[in-house]
Chain A
Amino acid sequence: QKEVEQNSGPLSVPEGAIASLNCTYSDRGSQSFFWYRQYSGKSPELIMFIYSNGDKEDGRFTAQLNKASQYVSLLIRDSQPSDSATYLCAGETSGSRLTFGEGTQLTVNP
């Protein structure tokens, strides 16, 4: 089992819809989780991080963490074509290093 797994993509949503990106992790000791956005040919850009159970909102983005279910998600409300990118979920695993999922490619159609 991979330490961090993301739901397989690609994911396509119409403009204005909610995009839901999901991630599960295997290390129960993981405390911190991060969502990165990576545009094609660019480096990953940190968009959200979450440490506590529950929801964390930042503008159109909401990160959700459920430690009991070992589940992390990212919701993007009012999706825009500029949100089209690969979204990477990362968890702080053993030894305080970041382990990344494979990424989910999101396309927002105008």
Chain B
Amino acid sequence: KAGVTQTPRYLIKTRGQQVTLSCSPISGHRSVSWYQQTPGQGLQFLFEYFSETQRNKGNFPGRFSGRQFSNSRSEMNVSTLELGDSALYLCASSQTIMNTEAFFGQGTRLTVV
């Protein structure tokens, strides 16, 4: 059974640009959550999607957005990139909502220069 797949693995962008990250959950999993991980802040919750609906949102500015498609694949978008957006972005999938086991993808390492 394939795990959670995130693409791309690495990304370098310039300040002011926008970026789209993709996440394909484990087959059969309908819940996808996104996290930002930085050395100083640890793992911070961005948002959670279930059945194409955003169920939960963390404390991030509106530049961070996401969506989920009917096949449960999810994308997150960051617009007007700032240097502080440099981080590891992790996607986690679970069968239903997040009180069941969540499995992480390998992450996308975003560097903003």
Contact = CB atoms under 8 A, between A and B. Distances in A.
A88 B45 CA distance: 14
A69 interface: no
Contacts of B104: 36, 43-46
Interface stretch (B12-20, B65-73, B74-82, B94-102): B94-102
Given A32-B99, A43-B90, A92-B98, A97 B58 contact: yes
A21 to B, nearest CB: 15
Contacts of B56: 95-97
A61 interface: no
Contacts of B55: 95-96
A95 B104 CA distance: 20
A102 B55 CA distance: 24
A80 B66 CA distance: 40
A34 B102 CA distance: 9
Interface string B23-66: 00000000001010000001101001000000110100000000
B86 interface: no
A49 B103 CA distance: 12
A46 B102 contact: yes
Interface string A77-103: 000000000001010100111111111
A44 B106 contact: no
A42 to B, nearest CB: 7
14 contacts: A34-B101, A43-B88, A43-B90, A43-B105, A43-B106, A44-B43, A44-B90, A88-B42, A96-B97, A96-B99, A97-B33, A100-B42, A101-B42, A103-B42
Interface of B: 33, 35, 42-43, 45, 48, 55-56, 58, 88, 90, 92, 97-107
Interface of A: 31-32, 34, 36, 42-46, 49, 88, 90, 92, 95-103
